[in-house]
Amino acid sequence: VKMDRNRLIELLRKKESGVITLSEIRELNEYLKTNTDDKIIADALNAVLAGSFKVEHDYQPGEIQRHVKNLHDKINTDLNTGLSAGKPNKNRLIIMISAIAASLILGIAGYYFIYSGSQHNTVAKNVLSTKKGSKSTLELPDGTKVWLNADTRLTYDKNYGEKIRAVELTGEAYFDVVKDADHPFIVRTKFMDIKVLGTAFNVRAYANETNTQTSLLRGKVEISLRNKKAEKIILKPNEKIILNNADVLNDNNNIASKRKEMPILSVVAIKTNKTDSTANEIQWTKNRLVFDQTDFGEIITELERWYNVQAVIKDSSILPRKLSGIFENESLPEVLESFKLAAGFNYRISDNTLTIY
């Protein structure tokens, strides 16, 4: 398998930043399987970026130096070949920048791996993510199926399943968990942990939203709050727990909340669509947008993620207005057209910018 040097650097950078897609993960892994030099340096680089200098294998310093030298030789060959071929100035500049970038990456990884005195064990992580405007499905090593909504990041350790099956989530995901009583499945979010044995449930934990929600479709889940781990909340099927993130932050900082529009947490019944009995909380897995007396401000946030646009609001007075609607595979203009009379706004779309006025 061959890979352009620029592409390798791009994939390593994406993996480190957590914005790599499932197809890109597969592309990178397939390449690294058959390219030992790049694989070992990628391991070292992962260790550096993770804040530890102990990688999965106990490579000797001399071995690391040899692989770093091999890669630098390859980079220099690419550079010299490109320059001697009389490539256009633009291409020559790209080649030079790529060579410098690769040298810096590999040099830093090699240097820290060899010379650092800090040798702390660390567990490598798998990071899977979706961008705004995209969704994805995946299967974890135990067969658990996961649907990732837009702008979502899911992380799990390489030792997933050895004792527990733990994942970390930012964004929204629907899980259909394979039953395994000996290895509990745990979803960790910023404010709550969700523990299950085998069940189907949805977790919504976007960083820019005021609530964290867990909706149980079948089975049983145990909820524990990060700041009150001793307290456990058991959800029954067709129940949803809503946690007010702002109140949790206030509680953590010992600051009394002056005004609470809702309790710090509440358990409510899940609403289902009358047509096909699908819970509203997982309609997104069927490419449906569902709003039920939702603040227009929250709708805009959802549209930004769903259609990969940046919203500019010219009149904030319309944001608290509550709207309802169900949309399946409809375009952004179609959604906005259905709302604009009821909410009293107009809009324009230019490139990736949505202006509301």
Q: 283, 272, 271, 270: which is closest to 236 by C-alpha?
A: 270
Cα atoms in the Cβ-side hemisphere of radius 13 Å centred on 110: 21
Give the model's pLDDT for residue 230: 75
Pick from 228, 325, 241, 238: which is nearest to 277 by CA? 238
Q: Comparing C-alpha atoms, which of 95, 73, 99, 98 is closest to residue 86?
A: 95
> How many residues are given for the chain?
357
Going from the C-alpha of 101 to that of each of 6, 12, 72, 225, 239, the distances in angstroms are 9, 12, 11, 43, 51
Q: Are strands 185-188 and 165-176 parallel, antiparallel or unpaired?
A: parallel
| The token pair that represents 18 in the structure block | 């957590």
CB under 8 Å to 166, separation ≥6 — which residues? 156, 157, 160, 185, 186, 187, 188
pLDDT along the chain (357 residues), means of 10: 71 68 78 78 58 45 56 60 56 50 49 42 72 88 92 90 93 94 93 89 92 92 83 90 75 45 76 77 91 92 93 91 91 92 90 91
Whether the Cβ atoms of residue 202 and residue 281 lie closer than 8 Å to each other = yes
- The predicted structure's pLDDT at residue 329: 87
pTM for the model stands at 0.65
Q: Which residue has the tokens 């993510």?
A: 129
First-residue to last-residue Cα distance in the chain: 52
The three-state DSSP-derived secondary structure of 256-306 is CCCCCCCCCEEEEECCECCCCCCEHHHHHHHCEEEEEEEEHHHHHHHHHHH
Query: What is the reported pLDDT for 248?
Result: 61
Q: Which two tokens stand for residue 1?
A: 């398998």
Q: At a CB cut-off of 8 Å and minimum separation 6, what does 141 contact?
A: 160, 161
* SS3 state at 54: coil
